[in-house]
Chains A and B, each alone.
Chain A
Amino acid sequence: MLTIFSIAMSVALLLGVEKVRVNAQSSFANTISGTDLIVGARSGSIQLLLYSVFRIGDATNNISFQSYQDIAQQKGVKWTIPISLGDSHRGFRVMGTSRDYFSVYQYGEQRTLEFASGKQFEGVFDAVIGSEVANVLNYAIGDQVIVSHGTGSASFTQHKDKPFVISGILKHTGTPVDRTLHVSLAGIEAMHVNWQGAVKKRKASKALTEANLQPESITAFLVGLDSKIASFKMQRYINEYKSEPLLAIFPGIALHELWNLMSVAEKALLIISMFVVLAALTGMLAVSLAGLNERRREVAILRSVGASHWHIMGLLITETVLLTIAGILLGLALLYSGIWLAQPIIEKNYGLFIPITAPNIRELGMVCVLLTASFIVGLVPAYRAYKNSLADGMSIRS
């Protein structure tokens, strides 16, 4: 029983590592689709990708709104979405963007954002929240929210004088969008009006309209092109942009670079879980060898009633393989119940959604390798039993 359990644990670990790896990749890949280029300040391509799309990692510098407008008007540019990050609301990121975001931004298999209720922001102080923001903070349309300066839920400087009103709630996407509060660029500007260096300045606030709230800078912007043919030319143009050092990256290629970087850690995890499987198999071997000694007489009796050498071997191998199969089944049960239990926690903390899906080819392959390994392990006691003579079992050891 313990043997089955140790195999079950190792199987659950091995497949669990694999599941997390595959789903982390697809969840990242699903977050952005249809975007040809991401443009930000000169940094690293991975840093820019992680910060602008996944809102993780270190902040990149801002770029001037002037450059953004200039590039947005270039020939061949179909659409652009500005992104302005830096503020937060009770631990959730606040992102300033344009209205195009809701019609143009795509995730997964080219799906656009949909509203669960309400509509996109119209006024300067309207906000659209992701599904998780709505769930966790229990917000509904019309609620007022106060945005904090900087990030983190314990930020002390709050933009209390300028509350936002929730105008829309987005449907669940399984991407960082769910954990974001979206406002217009003018909204971001507006809440910083009368602030200087993050310190509030008392001053009569003028009428805040979109016209007089053009931002001076944004964090990054997404670019869609008319034709993929222009991709490299546009990237070169932006990277060599004269008035400001900019960096244009292809999100797909930057992601690929990220996986390359991560592959070392992934391999290490895989190797560790393989060793755990190996340990479990060794444990099973030890148990069945010990058992063999006790079954000396059983084996001898079977032999004496006419069972052949091969018959005994077959029985012993079948035993180990059956034990392994039981272990694998229990392991799968453990894995899926584990995923089921951990799903909401992982999604909340890491934004990673791990769906319960049937094992893929690679995972089935791993299971097959494990079965073969158990067969080989089963050969060892079988060979021992084969070697033991009939007389050895019949004689009584002193």
Chain B
Amino acid sequence: MKLSNSITIMLASLMLTLPAHHAIASELDAHEHGSANLDIAIDTDTIQMSFESPAVNIVGFEYTTDDKQQLLLIKQATDFLSNVDALFSLVGDVSCQIVKSSANWVTEHEEGHKEHEDHDETPLSEHAEFIAEYELTCNQLNNLAAIKVNLFEFFPAIADLDVQVIYSGGQIKQELNSNNTLIELTH
């Protein structure tokens, strides 16, 4: 068991060291300062959203820190990102209940080695991200005309947000910025 585990880990780390593989495997994990990703999936009565941003866009730094003030900043940002109501407004005659709304500070080290649990000797990470997951249960989702993204007001360091939407009306890819914050959905 132990052996097979370490083989898995070896393979996993091998995957990470192969640049070509890494580049594609982490399509969703691309790390570009100033840019963030938002994936939205909508079906029948559920909206699921996942937001990922390099930490530098949110708090201005990306290293593991012991500094109290910086830890506080991370805490505040996580709390804020967990507030789905403030970050997004749904346009149209829909009423929703929040099922899940949580955000986490994730360093690249953790991301690459999700399989094994022990994090002793965590090296100072160079890349860190905020990952937030939201899930809403709604009535009358057919009335949802658009989703307005308010992230830019709170995090001006996000210059552009790459949005992918999968819903019954199709698959959309759109780039939002502070002047263009609306994801329009046609049914």
Interface residues of B in 1-59 (CB under 8 A from A): 11, 21, 24-25, 27-28, 39, 41-44, 46, 48, 50
Q: Shortest Cβ distance from B112 into chain A, in angstroms?
A: 11
- A397 CB–B CB distance under 8 Å: no
Asked whether A236 lies within 8 Å of B171 as measured between CB atoms, the reply is no
B113 partner residues in chain A, CB cutoff 8 A: none
Q: Is the CB of A239 within 8 A of B25?
A: yes
CB of A242 closer than 8 Å to a CB of B: yes
Q: Which of A42, A227, A231 contacts B24 (CB 8 A)?
A: A42
In the complex the two chains form, is A232's CB within 8 Å of B173's CB?
no
Considering the chains assembled together, what is the distance between the CA atoms of A229 and B173 in angstroms?
Answer: 16
* A182 smallest CB distance to B (angstroms): 26
Closest to B47 in A: A229
- Contact between B24 and A229, CB atoms less than 8 A apart: no
Q: Is the CB of A228 within 8 A of B167?
A: yes
B94 contacts A by Cβ under 8 Å: no
Q: Within 8 Å CB of B95, what residues of A?
A: none
Q: Mark A245-268, 1 if CB is under 8 A from B, else 0.
A: 101001111001100000000000
A36 at the interface (CB under 8 A from B): yes
CB-CB under 8 A from A122, the residues of chain B are none
Residue B71 lies at the interface, judged by CB distance under 8 Å to chain A: no
Range for the number of chain A residues in contact with chain B: 20 to 34
Contact yes or no, A228 B43, CB < 8 A: yes
Could you say which residues of chain B place their CB within 8 Å of the CB of A42?
21, 24
Tell me the dominant secondary structure on chain A's binding face. helix
Cα distance, A36 to B24, chains bound together (Å): 20
Chain B contact-residue range equals: 20 to 34
Q: Does B172 contact A (CB under 8 A)?
A: yes
- CB-CB under 8 A for A253 and B171, given A239-B25, A239-B27: yes
- CB of A240 within 8 A of chain B? yes
Provide the residues of chain B in CB contact with A236, threshold 8 Å: 28
Q: How far is the CA of A251 from the CA of B171 in the complex (A)?
A: 8
Residues of B within 8 A of A235 (CB): 28
The residue of chain A having its C-beta at the shortest distance from the C-beta of B43 within the complex is A228
A226 to B27, CA, bound (A): 24
Q: B48's closest neighbor in chain A, by CB?
A: A229
Q: Could you tell me if A228 and B173 are in contact, using CB atoms closer than 8 angstroms?
A: no
Of the residues B11, B41, B44, B170, contact of A232 by C-beta under 8 Å = B41
**CB of B168 within 8 A of chain A?**
yes
**Chain A residues with CB below 8 A from B167, complex form:** 228
Q: Mark A218-232, 1 if CB is under 8 A from B, else 0.
A: 000000000111111
| Contact B164 A250, beta carbon cutoff 8 Å | yes
- Tell me whether B159 is interfacial, beta carbon within 8 Å: no
Inter-chain contact A231/B28, CB cutoff 8 Å: no
CA distance A47 to B170 in the complex (A): 20
Contact status A252-B171, CB under 8 Å: yes
CA distance A232 to B173 in the complex (A): 13
On chain A, the residues within 8 Å of B11 by CB distance are: 242
Is B170 a contact of A252 with CB atoms below 8 Å?
yes
Task: Give the nearest-CB partner of A29 in chain B.
Answer: B170
Q: In whole angstroms, how far apart are the Cα atoms of A257 and B174 in the complex?
A: 10
Give which listed residue, A231, A240, A257, contacts B25 with CB less than 8 A.
A240
Are A232 and B21 in contact, with the CB atoms below 8 A? Answer: no
Could you list 5 examples of A-B contacts with CB < 8 Å?
Answer: A229-B46, A239-B27, A240-B25, A250-B171, A256-B171
- 6 shortest interchain CB distances as A-B pairs: A252-B171, A228-B43, A231-B166, A256-B173, A253-B173, A250-B171
Known interface pairs A232-B50, A235-B28, A251-B171; 6 further A-B residue pairs with C-beta atoms within 8 A, sorted by A's residue number: A227-B43, A228-B43, A229-B41, A229-B43, A230-B41, A240-B25
B contact residues vs A (CB 8 Å cutoff): 11, 21, 24-25, 27-28, 39, 41-44, 46, 48, 50, 164, 166-168, 170-173
